[in-house]
């Protein structure tokens, strides 16, 4: 039996009125903990006569199930309330104007290239482009730069295969444009080019504009 003054039905009311998880856990420990009231009552069942033990066991089991169910329900309620309060503190007003994505700006060299392209476009030039990985024909042979030409020493660089290299100038764009469109032409060929240069005033990659 429960100790005098302890009523599990009254405990159910207390549980339903618990204001926070700490208070709720205190009630759980008071009734269902290792030293709890119901735990102690179950331990004393063995001292009772068989017929009384069975009857009392049913009562205690019903009390335990009711208390466990009430505690689980109130715990879920309190956790839901905590979540609601937390969301309210961190709520986002979707009606506020969006923030600038801060996408950055153009590189100074890109700005210069765009300015040059704009100037020449107004003069009737077509802005042409070509691949940065070129074959030997378009980069050298079609420009009369044979294998023994002195310019090869400065231009020979960055081969990606036996017959392909990173272009050393944008002149191949002119060759491709002439072969595709034929003369007369008015084109501007800006872009990145690559050479075996590395000193205070040169880098292996730079920009070139020719027309």
In degrees and rounded to multiples of 5, residue 100 shows phi and psi of -60, 130
pLDDT score for 156: 64
pTM for this prediction: 0.49
Q: Is the dihedral of CA 114, 115, 118, 124 positive or negative?
A: negative
Q: Where in the chain are the domains?
A: 5-90, 108-210
Structure tokens at 130: 């070509």
Angle at 210 between CA 205 and CA 211, to 5 degrees: 160
Q: Could you report the average pLDDT of every consecutive run of 10 residues in the chain (211 residues)?
A: 63 88 88 85 81 81 87 92 86 78 85 93 92 91 84 74 89 92 91 83 86 86
Structure tokens at 150: 């002195």
Coil/strand/helix, residue 183:
coil
Quote the CA–CA distance of 130 and 167 in Å, as a whole number: 10
pLDDT score for 126: 92
**Strand duo 126-127 + 187-194: pairing:** parallel
Nearest to 113, CA basis, from 192, 60, 176, 21: 192
- Contact between 141 and 163 under an 8 Å Cβ cutoff? The reply is no
- Contact between 167 and 131 under an 8 Å Cβ cutoff? The reply is yes
pLDDT score for 75: 92
In degrees and rounded to multiples of 5, residue 189 shows phi and psi of -120, 90
Quote the CA–CA distance of 47 and 22 in Å, as a whole number: 35
pLDDT score for 80: 92
Which residue has 């420009």 as its token pair?
143
Q: Domain 108-210: what homologous superfamily?
A: Bira Bifunctional Protein; Domain 2 (3.30.930.10)
pLDDT score for 2: 58
| Full DSSP string of 144-178 | T--TT-THHHHH---BSSSSEEE-SSSHHHHHHHH
How many C-beta neighbours within 10 Å does residue 104 have? 6
């Amino acid at each position: 039996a429960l100790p005098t003054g302890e009523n599990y039905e009254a405990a159910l009311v207390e549980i339903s009125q618990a204001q926070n998880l700490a208070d709720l856990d205190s009630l759980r420990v008071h009734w269902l903990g290792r030293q709890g009231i119901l735990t102690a009552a179950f331990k004393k069942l063995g001292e009772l006569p068989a017929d009384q033990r069975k009857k009392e066991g049913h009562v205690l089991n019903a009390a335990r199930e009711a208390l466990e169910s009430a505690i689980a329900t109130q715990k879920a309620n309190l956790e839901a309330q905590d979540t609601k309060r937390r969301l309210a503190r961190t709520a986002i007003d979707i009606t506020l104007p969006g923030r600038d994505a801060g996408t950055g700006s153009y590189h100074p060299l890109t700005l210069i290239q765009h300015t040059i392209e704009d100037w020449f476009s107004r003069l009737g030039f077509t802005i042409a482009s070509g691949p940065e990985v070129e074959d030997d024909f378009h980069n050298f042979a079609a420009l009369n730069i044979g294998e023994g030409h002195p310019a090869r020493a400065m231009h020979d660089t960055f081969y990606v295969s036996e017959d392909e290299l990173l272009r050393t100038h944008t002149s191949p764009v002119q060759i491709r444009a002439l072969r595709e469109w034929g003369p007369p032409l008015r084109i501007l060929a800006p872009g990145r080019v690559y050479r075996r240069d590395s000193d205070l005033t040169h880098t292996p990659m730079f920009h070139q504009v020719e027309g």
